[in-house]
Chains A and B, each alone.
Chain A
């Protein structure tokens, strides 16, 4: 295959990738979008195999077999609740692959590498390695292998910036002395350490933003590798991925009214006890109710809104919530779901979980659209959502949540709050909503409580 033909096939492949994202913009064409992605990838691989004689067929075949053996079960079996972990793992794999190819390029060319190429290569490797450990840690947090709370220590900002500075300095030294091969592992180790430090301090509530930022990093490192190899397809694919991560990170941080710097360095929720108002401290008591009380309220409701949060997903309550919604709808009740942009653990995650439970997506209402409707809503059922419904975000200037756009569920006539305990949410801030006179707290596992509600409502019907 001639070089020219390969270049043209790469162009077709790049166009397919662009079309792939274009078709992803709406549900109707989205599967075609995925197909375009597959086609673009297939074409890129075929063109490359045609143009370059892969000497180490054993490594190629072995790698592909391992990749297919790992990838197929991950792609086919991972539960929808675990999609964020899968995504974090995929960022880790992608960025490590890019960093390793960078290292291979260096060892192959050193010391006869021009300064520019080596500079990009160093930057690419630092970005790739730090994204690798950062993503591994995000995976561990999402998987519950380590605590979701931020792990902080005094002076950590200084320590992590020093680590990053040292990684960059060893990269600069490598560019200055391309023959000093030992500098590469030093640089890699420092970048790996920095990635770890970056994510260890980030709490669960910030995960949707962090995943998006790591996505952006993974894409950028792939684009940088494209510069090193002068491979334009890699530049296109990498920058599309980088853009996607950046846009999603911006949407997520806007939804939380936080800046990237704040998310990466502030460590909200690190001191839950200090930040939270102790229950009863101000003589406040929450009213707890039973399932029967809620069933009575629901029996008289005309408009009901569900406000689902990640707690719903953890309890796997999405199916039983849909069941309750069906029972209500059968009685002529108007049912909607209020979706906060950061509900769930990655951008758009709640939509996937509700789609899995076959909730019709006409019933899914984004925050901006549903907020004006709360005053005329009879009952809001908050299931496993806490921080995104906390009115302190509007009223208390001293709250870490202050300024974050929330679902205005407190404006509804009645709020039913289903929660395992009176504890604080991811942010470590207690929810003022618990103490509102029109809030009914129902303590218990979301799946169990909603399941009991379904049977109570069914009994009423007959």
Chain B
């Protein structure tokens, strides 16, 4: 792996802080009705760590390194699949309840 330069770190920190603030703003506006599907959705999204596991699998490494990354791939994939599916299932329950116009 390549060491982080201080310029990288600066940009990363900025991104972290800005997306945290953006996240706070976005979540604050989510209807209380939808807090459960919201949590299922954010779970699924944060499983983008799948990508991190892929990157590790692409680097040359020992059997232990590959195995750890392989297990991470399976865990993250489980979350991605179950997270998006269950979010949609919950949202369909709410959609049925749309007020009829």
A-B contacts besides A71-B79, A351-B36, 9 pairs, CB < 8 Å: A40-B48, A56-B70, A60-B57, A94-B76, A116-B4, A222-B48, A241-B42, A243-B20, A358-B96
B46 touches A107 (CB 8 A): no
Distance A74 CA – B38 CA, assembled complex (angstroms): 17
Question: What are 20 contact pairs spanning A and B, CB under 8 A?
Answer: A21-B23, A24-B34, A25-B34, A31-B88, A41-B50, A63-B77, A71-B80, A90-B83, A97-B47, A97-B79, A107-B62, A108-B65, A211-B39, A229-B1, A230-B4, A241-B42, A243-B22, A245-B42, A348-B33, A362-B99
A50-67 interface with B by 8 A CB criterion: 52-56, 59-60, 62-64, 66-67
Contacts of B66 in A (CB 8 A): 55-56, 59, 104
Q: How far is the CB of B43 from chain A (nearest CB, A)?
A: 5
B74 touches A62 (CB 8 A): yes
Distance A68 CA – B79 CA, assembled complex (angstroms): 9
The 8 A CB mask of B68-97 against A (1 = contact, 0 = none) is 111111111111111111111111111111
B82 touches A234 (CB 8 A): no
B68 touches A103 (CB 8 A): yes
Contacts of B43 in A (CB 8 A): 87, 90-91, 94, 215, 218, 241
Q: How far is the CB of B16 from chain A (nearest CB, A)?
A: 5
Distance A56 CA – B57 CA, assembled complex (angstroms): 6
A104 touches B61 (CB 8 A): yes
Given contacts A59-B66, A67-B78, A239-B23, contact A341 B42 (CB under 8 A): no
Distance A360 CA – B36 CA, assembled complex (angstroms): 17
Given contacts A27-B31, A360-B97, contact A232 B12 (CB under 8 A): yes
When C-beta atoms are compared, the residue in chain B nearest to A351 turns out to be B33
Contacts of A244 in B (CB 8 A): 23, 27, 38-39, 42
Instruction: Give B residues with C-beta under 8 Å from A.
Output: 1-4, 8-9, 11-12, 15-16, 19-20, 22-24, 26-62, 64-99
Q: How far is the CB of B31 from chain A (nearest CB, A)?
A: 6
A26 touches B76 (CB 8 A): no
Distance A38 CA – B21 CA, assembled complex (angstroms): 23
Contacts of B19 in A (CB 8 A): 14, 18, 235-236, 239-240, 243
User: Interface range on chain A: under 10, 10 to 19, 20 to 34, or 35 or more?
Assistant: 35 or more
Given contacts A243-B24, A244-B39, contact A97 B49 (CB under 8 A): yes
B44 touches A70 (CB 8 A): no
A1-22 interface with B by 8 A CB criterion: 13-14, 17-18, 20-22
Q: How far is the CB of A32 from chain B (nearest CB, A)?
A: 10
For the complex of A and B, the 7 pairs showing the least CB-CB separation, nearest first, are A67-B77, A75-B85, A243-B23, A71-B81, A348-B35, A63-B73, A59-B70
Q: How far is the CB of A306 from chain B (nearest CB, A)?
A: 16
Partner of B49, one of A20, A34, A109, A225: A225
A94 touches B56 (CB 8 A): no
The 8 A CB mask of A327-347 against B (1 = contact, 0 = none) is 000000000000101000011
B36 touches A247 (CB 8 A): no
Contacts of A64 in B (CB 8 A): 73-74, 77
B51 touches A233 (CB 8 A): yes
Distance A241 CA – B27 CA, assembled complex (angstroms): 10
Partner of A34, one of B39, B46, B84: B84
A247 touches B77 (CB 8 A): no
When C-beta atoms are compared, the residue in chain A nearest to B90 turns out to be A352
Given contacts A52-B58, A56-B66, A100-B69, contact A30 B34 (CB under 8 A): yes
Distance A218 CA – B45 CA, assembled complex (angstroms): 11
Contacts of B79 in A (CB 8 A): 67, 71, 90, 93-94, 97
Distance A364 CA – B40 CA, assembled complex (angstroms): 22
A101 touches B80 (CB 8 A): no
B39 touches A75 (CB 8 A): no
Given contacts A34-B84, A78-B86, A97-B53, contact A361 B42 (CB under 8 A): no
Contacts of B77 in A (CB 8 A): 63-64, 66-68, 71
Contacts of A38 in B (CB 8 A): 84
Partner of A235, one of B3, B16, B39, B59: B16
Q: How far is the CB of A329 from chain B (nearest CB, A)?
A: 15
Q: How far is the CB of B60 from chain A (nearest CB, A)?
A: 7
Q: How far is the CB of A256 from chain B (nearest CB, A)?
A: 15
When C-beta atoms are compared, the residue in chain B nearest to A121 turns out to be B1
